[in-house]
């Protein structure tokens, strides 16, 4: 019998000791490593908590986390106790699961991990490929947490693809596919059609589906799958339309028309025109809940959407200089970031990029998109994931396509400190390329900014020293202010 875990640190060590495809080198696994049978065995050992909780299930290449957040916020505003499961986390593991916006406490997480510790130990006695993985255990923990806290419904973001994702054993009221583009190609396939087929794997017989996939190949695959399973389909641009009204942060809104109603002046708290599309998909999914007796008013939708916050997604941390964090890590999300920076930060003096990424991403494509949008480039490598691309390799590719040069920093905090030294109050610093980079830097940047603000407001006060890694040692004399 497995010995109970006593501390939060032990619980986290147990989780991080599992096979973790979010951090494992991409060459160490293939699509054959993803099996729903393994997840089903774990859930059976835990009493099948997923069968007692209805869900809204969301897949997609980009925007699925934001869409999940919006759906959950409106359901909470409607008085439903709402579980939300997203991945990856930025800072703390328990960020992945919330009920009405509240994550488990460290003590509650220990209790949850102890619930799965024994069953996982038993399953570990089976052949190797039957051992539950990090993400499978995380998903099971979310279902246990939602049940323990008496959630009425769960909003679930897929981790990878859809068809074989651990979340795909849920019992959905409605499914959503935000969009489809190339990402995780070594697992999901090399063409849009192949990737779309994996995303469409979340569609269930007779369960309504909302699709935001606009690529013709993806649209055709999803429509074919929905028709085969007799799942009513609402397609963005045909059945779901939206009209975006840009403005100040307090006045951005969107009108959304579904086959059932017109939703007027819905607020958008997240930056970027692409969030209007995510709002339209979220509202369409909520509209379909009338099929199960949940009818939401426009006032409820407005109240919920005003509460949406999503750290690390075009998140503005400072205005002098502008500091923006965004976890964009694929072609579509980077395209949206560049477009938003152009539209919403056009008046800045200079643009400084801090960039690191993961080896399984199309980092060459990301660099090609980002380089023309910035005046100063700083490449680094985050510390907490072996899949990080060395900064020297990033610079090597830059040299192959451009005469531009980049600064190199040995770690994320060194890169941030260098960006601060090179910046002027009217400049823009953007940290992007990976969830892992944003996760490692977000709290450090916030602490530095708070410290700087406190020092600036105290005349004659002594400065506070923050112990961090040494600053970059091999910065090149590239276009600095």
pLDDT at 349: 95
Distance in angstroms (rounded) separating the CA atoms of residues 221 and 227: 10
Question: pLDDT for 226-249, tens place per residue?
Answer: 999 999 999 999 999 999 886 666
Domain locations in the chain?
Answer: 8-305, 315-456
Three-state SS string across 170-186, please?
Answer: CEEEEEEECCCCCCCHH
pLDDT at 476: 36
**Mean per-residue pLDDT over the chain, rounded:** 90
Beta-carbon contacts of 228 under 8 Å, excluding residues fewer than 6 positions away, are: none
The whole-number mean pLDDT for each consecutive block of 10 residues of the chain, a chain of 481 residues, reads 89 90 51 77 97 97 95 98 96 96 98 96 84 95 98 96 94 96 57 93 98 95 98 98 78 93 96 95 98 97 97 95 95 93 93 94 93 98 89 96 96 98 97 95 95 73 40 36 30
pLDDT at 187: 53
Quick one: tokens of 415? 């890169």
Whole-prediction pTM value? Answer: 0.89
Strand, helix or coil for residue 380: coil
What is the C-alpha radius of gyration for the chain, rounded to an integer number of angstroms? 23
Measure the N-to-C terminal CA separation of the chain; round to a whole number of Å.
63
Per CATH, domain 8-305 is 3.10.20.30: no
Under CATH, to which class is 315-456 assigned?
Answer: alpha beta
pLDDT at 478: 35
pLDDT at 201: 96
């Amino acid at each position: 019998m497995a010995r109970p875990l006593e501390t939060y640190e032990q619980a986290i060590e147990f989780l991080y000791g599992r096979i973790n495809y979010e951090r494992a080198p991409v060459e160490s696994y293939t699509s054959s490593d993803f099996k729903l049978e393994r997840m089903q065995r774990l859930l059976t050992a835990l009493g099948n908590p997923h069968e007692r909780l209805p869900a809204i299930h969301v897949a997609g290449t980009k925007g699925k986390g934001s869409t999940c957040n919006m759906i959950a916020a409106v359901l909470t505003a409607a008085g439903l106790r709402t579980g939300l499961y997203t991945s990856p986390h930025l800072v703390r593991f328990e960020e992945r699961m919330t009920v009405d916006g509240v994550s488990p406490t460290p003590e509650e997480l220990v209790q949850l991990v102890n619930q799965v510790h024994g069953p996982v130990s038993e399953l570990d006695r089976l052949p190797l490929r039957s051992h539950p993985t990090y993400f499978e255990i995380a998903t099971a923990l979310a279902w246990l947490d939602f049940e323990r806290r008496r959630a009425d419904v769960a909003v679930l973001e897929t981790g990878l693809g859809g068809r074989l994702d651990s979340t795909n054993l849920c019992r959905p009221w409605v499914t959503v596919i935000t969009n489809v583009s190339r990402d995780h190609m070594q697992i999901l396939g090399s063409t849009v059609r192949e990737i779309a087929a994996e995303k469409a794997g979340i569609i269930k017989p007779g369960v309504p589906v909302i699709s935001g996939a606009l690529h013709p190949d993806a649209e055709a695959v999803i429509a074919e799958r929905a028709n085969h399973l007799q799942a009513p389909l609402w397609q963005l641009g045909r059945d779901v339309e939206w009209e975006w009204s840009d403005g100040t942060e307090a006045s951005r809104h969107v009108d959304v028309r579904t086959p059932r109603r017109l939703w007027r002046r819905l607020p958008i708290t997240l930056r970027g025109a692409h969030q209007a599309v995510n709002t339209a998909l979220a509202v369409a999914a909520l509209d379909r809940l009338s099929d199960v007796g949940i009818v939401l008013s426009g006032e409820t939708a407005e109240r919920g959407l005003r509460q949406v916050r999503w750290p690390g997604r075009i998140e503005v941390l400072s205005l002098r200089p502008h500091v923006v964090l965004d976890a964009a890590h694929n072609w579509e999300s980077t395209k949206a970031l560049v477009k938003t920076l152009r539209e919403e930060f056009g008046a800045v003096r200079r643009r400084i990029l801090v960039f690191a990424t993961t080896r399984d991403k199309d980092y060459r494509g990301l660099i090609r998109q980002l380089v023309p949008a910035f005046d100063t480039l700083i490449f680094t490598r985050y510390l907490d994931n072996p899949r990080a691309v060395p900064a020297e390799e990033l610079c090597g590719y830059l040299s192959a396509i451009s005469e531009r040069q980049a600064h190199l920093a040995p770690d994320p905090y060194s890169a941030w400190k260098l960006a601060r030294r090179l910046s002027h109050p009217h400049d823009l610093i953007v940290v992007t390329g990976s969830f892992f980079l944003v996760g490692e830097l977000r709290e450090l940047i916030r602490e530095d900014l708070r410290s700087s603000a406190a020092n600036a407001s105290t005349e004659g006060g002594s400065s506070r020293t923050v112990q961090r890694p040494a600053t970059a040692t091999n910065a090149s004399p590239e276009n600095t202010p």
